[in-house]
Amino acid sequence: MVKTGKTYFIVWLAASVLPLTFLFAQQVSLTADKTELSVQEKVRLTFTFENIRNAPRSINLDLHDSFSIAGGPYSSSNYSIVNGKTSYKNTVSYDLIAKKTGKIRIPPYAFTIKNEVYRTEPFHIHIRKAPDPQSTDAGKGLPDIFITSSIEKDTVYQGETFTVVYRLFSSKNIVNYTTNPLSTLEGFIVDRFELNQNPSISRETFSGREYLKADIAFLTLTATRTGSLNIPLKVFRISTEREGRSRSFFDDPFFGVSSERENIPAPEDTVEVLPLPPGAGPFFTGAIGDFAMHAELDTGILQENQATRLRVDLIGNGNMEHFTFPKPGFPEGFEVFEPRVKNAYELNKNNYRGSRIWEYVLIPSTPGNFSLDDIRFTYFSPRKKAYKTLSAPLGNIRVFSHDELAGDYDYSPAPGKVRMLSEDIRFIQTEEGKLQNAAYDPVQDPKNWVLYYTALGFVLLFLLAEYMINLRNKNIRKIRYKNALKNAMTEFRKIEADTPHDEFLGHIDTAFRNYLNDKQIGIEHHPGIEDVLKSIETFKYAPGMVSHVHLDKLKEQALNIIEEIEKA
C-alpha cells in the first residue's frame, strides 16, 4: 500500500488529537444521592475522578458544622475498554447525617493532581426537621438509630421557661446511653439537664420502618434574650446489643449479647424568642405562665407595736424560679420586714408547677384605723398573649394604744408577775426544811457507798472490755477467715423476691467482696472472680437496664464461686 501525503496528514492529525481527547475527558465531580431529606436520614456524597491517575482515597470534607460523618470513606475503581480506548473512574464516598435543618451549601472542592487543578461545582441540600410521611421510600434512607430534639412550640417569650425533649429512635435493642452534662448555654438559663433513666418505650413507624421510641433526656431552659437563638447539637453515646459470642463476661454483661457503642448526634435546633409586649404595669416582676393568688392577714385588730403576719400564696405553673413578688404598699407607721419565702414547686416535663408563699411581718407603731391596699400581682400569659393582674383585698386594720387597754391590765396580773408568782410557789413547795438526827454519820451509812461500788464496777468492766478487744484485734484475721462464709450467707439471705434492684446488687457486692477480703483471696485465685466483679461494676453503671433475672444469675455465679473455694 502506498501512503500518500494525505494519508500521512490524517495519521498525524489522529495522533495529535487523540491525547487531547483524553485530556478533555479528565474531570472531577461531586454529587449527592439526594438533595431533599430529613435530619434523620443519611445522605451520600460521592467524588468521581474520571481518567485521573493518583486520585485521592480520602478527602477532608470540612463540613463539621453542618454534618457528622456516619460512614466512609468508601473507595471504588472502574475500568472499561471501548473500541480499543481505555477509560477509568475512581470514586470516594461518605455517608453524612445533618446536624441542623435548613438550606445547607456544599462548597466547591479543588484538587491539584500532577500540576493540574480540578474543581467541583457547589450545590445545596435542603434538610427538613422530620421525614416526609407521604414519601414511599423515606424509610430506606433512615439510619438504624437517630435522635430528635423537639420543643413544644417554635416561639417562646423572653423569660419563659420551656423544655427540649431528646427522643431516641432505634431499630436495635438499646443497652445504655449517656452524654456529657450541660450547665451553661448562651442566651439561656439552664434550669435542668437530666437523663431519663427509666423511659417509657413505644413504637413508631416511618414510611414502613418500625422503630423503638423513648424520651431519653430533658433540657429545660429559660430564655434571657430575644431573637433567633440556637440550641446546639448534643452528642449521645449509645450502646446497643450486638449479636454474637462475647470475649469475656465484662464484654457480655447481659448474658449472651455483647454491646457495641456509637456516638449519635441530636441535631441542633432553633427557637424564636419574642420580646414581651409593652404595658406590663408596676406589679409585673417577670412572671410568665398562668397563676392564681390568695392573701390574708393573721388578724385585723391588734395593739400598737404588736406584730401581725401577711401571707400571700401564689399557685400555678410557669417560670416560678425566675421572678420575685412585687413589694406591697403599706401605710406610714408600719414597720415591714423582708418577707420569708417558701417554695413548694417542682420541675415537671415542661416547666415549673406548684406554689410560692411570701410571709410579711407587720408591726404598727401608732394607733388608729388603717386601710390597706389590695395585694396585686401581674403576670404574662403566653397562652392568651396578654398581661393579667391578680388582686386580693386585705381590708382594714385597727390598732389600739396601750391606754385603751390599761383597764384590762389593772384587773389581771401581767405576764411577768405570773412568772414571779409561780417561782415563789415552787420555792415554798421544794425548799421546805427537814429535821435530821445530830448523831447521824454519813460515812457509816452503807447506802452512801453504793455510788462508789457502782463506779468501781464500771471501771472493772471497762478494763475487761478493753482486754477482750485487744485480744480480738490480735486475732482479727483468723476470726474473719473463720466467719467469712457465715457472714457472706447472712448478707445473701437479706435478698428477697421484692428487693429493689439497687439493694439487690448492693447485697451481692457486699457479700462477695467481704468474703474475698475475709478469706484474703485475690482475683487470680479463681478464674470467675474477675468476671463477677466486672459485672457488678457494669450493673452499677447502667442500673435502669438491669432486671431480677440478671441479678439472680449474678448471685448464683457468686455463690458457685464461693462454694468451689470452700471445697478446695
Lowest mean pLDDT across 210-219, 345-354, 436-445, 548-557: 436-445
The confidence score (pLDDT) of residue 433 equals 52
Residue 313 has pLDDT above 70, yes or no: yes
Residue 44 has pLDDT above 50, yes or no: yes
Residue 17 has pLDDT above 60, yes or no: no
Backbone region of residue 310 per phi and psi (left: phi > 0; alpha: psi in -120 to 50; beta: other values): beta
State the chain's maximal CA–CA distance in angstroms. 169
Instruction: Report residue 294's pLDDT band, with 50, 70 and 90 as the boundaries.
Output: very high
pLDDT in tens, 420-467: 544 554 444 444 455 556 666 676 777 777 777 888 888 888 888 888
pLDDT above 70 covers a percentage of the chain that reads: 81
The confidence score (pLDDT) of residue 206 equals 73
Q: Edge-to-edge, what's the strand order for the sheet holding 258-266?
A: 174-179, 234-242, 258-266
Residue 246 has pLDDT above 80, yes or no: no
Cell numbers given for 388: 393579667
The confidence score (pLDDT) of residue 502 equals 82
Lowest mean pLDDT across 171-180, 334-343, 531-540, 554-563: 531-540
The confidence score (pLDDT) of residue 163 equals 93
Instruction: Report residue 247's pLDDT band, with 50, 70 and 90 as the boundaries.
Output: very low
The confidence score (pLDDT) of residue 534 equals 82
Lowest mean pLDDT across 148-157, 201-210, 287-296, 421-430: 421-430
Mean pLDDT, residues 175-200 taken together: 90
Mean pLDDT, residues 76-83 taken together: 78
Name the 3-class secondary structure at 246: coil
pLDDT above 90 covers a percentage of the chain that reads: 24
Instruction: Report residue 272's pLDDT band, with 50, 70 and 90 as the boundaries.
Output: very high
Mean pLDDT rounded to a whole number for the chain: 80
Residues 37, 127: contact at Cβ < 8 Å? Answer: yes
Residues 235, 165: contact at Cβ < 8 Å? Answer: no
Rounded CA-CA distance 293/388 in Å is 12
At 241, which helix (H) or strand (E)?
Answer: strand 234-242
Does residue 134 or residue 172 have the better pLDDT? 172
Rounded CA-CA distance 122/31 in Å is 10
Cell numbers given for 524: 487470680
Does residue 520 or residue 278 have the better pLDDT? 278
Instruction: Report residue 2's pLDDT band, with 50, 70 and 90 as the boundaries.
Output: very low
CB atoms within 10 A of CB 479: 13
The confidence score (pLDDT) of residue 404 equals 63
CB atoms within 10 A of CB 527: 9
Rg for the chain, CA atoms, rounded = 41
Cell numbers given for 222: 429559660
Does residue 539 or residue 255 have the better pLDDT? 539
With 0-12 CB in 10 A as exposed, 13-18 as middle and 19+ as buried, what is 212? middle
Rounded CA-CA distance 538/550 in Å is 12
Rounded CA-CA distance 395/397 in Å is 7
Phi/psi for 153 (5° steps) reads -145, 155
Cell numbers given for 382: 403566653
Instruction: Report residue 20's pLDDT band, with 50, 70 and 90 as the boundaries.
Output: very low
Residue 153 has pLDDT above 80, yes or no: yes
Residue for grid cell 400555678 = 316
List the beta bridge partners of residue 241: 259
Tell me 185's DSSP state. Answer: B
List the beta bridge partners of residue 166: 149, 217
Rounded CA-CA distance 32/61 in Å is 13
Mean pLDDT, residues 157-180 taken together: 90
